[in-house]
Chains A and B, each alone.
Chain A
Amino acid sequence: MLLIYCPYCEEERAELEFRNGGDAHIARPTNMAEISDEEFEAYFFLRENPKGVIFERWRHIHGCGRFFNAARDTVSDRFITTYKAGEPKPVLDAEPKTPATVETYEALEGAAQ
């Protein structure tokens, strides 16, 4: 089970207490009535879905109930850092290294060939 550090409870808790809330730092347009359908689509539906570091909203729903943001590696599932909602994106020191033991789809496919 993953342990996630809640910046409000100030300790690590089991992932069971949390819910994912989608991508973080998505700014809602202030001129919602004027933007085109394409611009609305880009804001509302289109996401990067990166392989690697992603900034996400998480909610400590079965704990303090608060939303916060987290930087997570989508390959290894490792939480790099978490920070309170409203705080700016932290500067991450370096690209986190994915341990060689992580069995990615590509690695397994490579071995099968």
Chain B
Amino acid sequence: MADQAMATRKAPLDGLRGGSPAATVIPAAPASRVALRASAEAVSALSAALGVTLPVRPKSSASTGKRHVLWLGPDEWLVIDEDGADLMSAAASSNALHSAVDVSHRNTAVIVSGPGAEVAINSGCPQDLSLAVFPVGACSRTTFGKAEIVLFRAAEDTFRVEFWRSFSPFVFGLLSEGAVDAAH
């Protein structure tokens, strides 16, 4: 019998490194992600089930350890678990009415880090990323060039940029160019 071919999963930006001394652009480690939609009545049950209090203010996020919940809209959140935990069954255990879609492999992310991180992202993103307007923990869905991204400020000089994996060459390329420009 012929040898069976084994498919190995390949991350979209595997092994790539970009950026400049001002801002490094590095693909984030694989994580599990859930696009979560629920009405206001289900928020407390889902918060308890996920172990993170779902934020209800615009542009805000909440984190417990390596699990982050980002506010995207009045009834929509992006849940990211950097440890790859099973978020779907966690959400299902809430017994509250909600919609959860596993988007772990639809999305990919890069970490933009360094003193020029704001400038690098602003090369394609129209939002004001100054600390007064976009503080640590702030998050927002927005645009980057012609792609849609979700921005999350993990630290003063570190952003997590989430986007669809089909856009990854475009976003990574433009971010790297922006990071090089930020060094000048």
| Given A63-B140, A64-B74, A66-B74, 17 more pairs with CB closer than 8 A | A1-B126, A8-B58, A8-B74, A9-B58, A9-B59, A13-B142, A14-B126, A16-B143, A17-B126, A62-B141, A62-B143, A64-B58, A64-B72, A64-B73, A64-B76, A65-B72, A65-B76
What A residues does B143 contact at CB under 8 A?
16-17, 62
Partner of A17, one of B59, B72, B76, B142: B142
**A48 touches B (CB below 8 Å):** no
Q: CA–CA, A66 to B76, complex, Å?
A: 10
Q: A1-B126, A62-B142, A62-B148 are in contact. Are A11 and B58 (CB under 8 A)?
A: yes
Q: A1-B126, A17-B142 are in contact. Are A66 and B58 (CB under 8 A)?
A: no
Give the size category of B's interface with A: 10 to 19
**B127 touches A (CB below 8 Å):** yes
Partner of A10, one of B58, B72, B127: B58
User: B115-163: which have CB < 8 Å to A?
Assistant: 126-127, 140-143, 148
Contact B127 A14 (CB under 8 A): yes
What B residues does A62 contact at CB under 8 A?
141-143, 148
What B residues does A1 contact at CB under 8 A?
126
Give the Cβ gap from A51 to chain B, nearest Cβ, in Å.
Answer: 29
Q: CA–CA, A93 to B180, complex, Å?
A: 49
What B residues does A14 contact at CB under 8 A?
126-127
Give the size category of A's interface with B: 10 to 19
9 tightest A-B CB contacts, nearest first? A14-B126, A64-B73, A9-B58, A65-B73, A62-B143, A62-B148, A16-B143, A10-B58, A8-B74
What A residues does B73 contact at CB under 8 A?
8, 63-66
Q: CA–CA, A100 to B17, complex, Å?
A: 52
Question: Digit string of B95-130 for contact with A (CB within 8 Å is 1, else 0)?
Answer: 000000000000000000000000000000011000
What B residues does A10 contact at CB under 8 A?
58
Q: CA–CA, A66 to B74, complex, Å?
A: 8
Q: CA–CA, A47 to B46, complex, Å?
A: 44
What A residues does B59 contact at CB under 8 A?
9, 11
Q: CA–CA, A66 to B59, complex, Å?
A: 14
Q: CA–CA, A86 to B44, complex, Å?
A: 26
What B residues does A64 contact at CB under 8 A?
58, 72-74, 76, 141
Contact A16 B126 (CB under 8 A): yes
Give the Cβ gap from B2 to chain A, nearest Cβ, in Å.
Answer: 49
Partner of A13, one of B74, B76, B127: B127
What A residues does B148 contact at CB under 8 A?
62
What A residues does B76 contact at CB under 8 A?
64-65
Q: CA–CA, A13 to B59, complex, Å?
A: 12
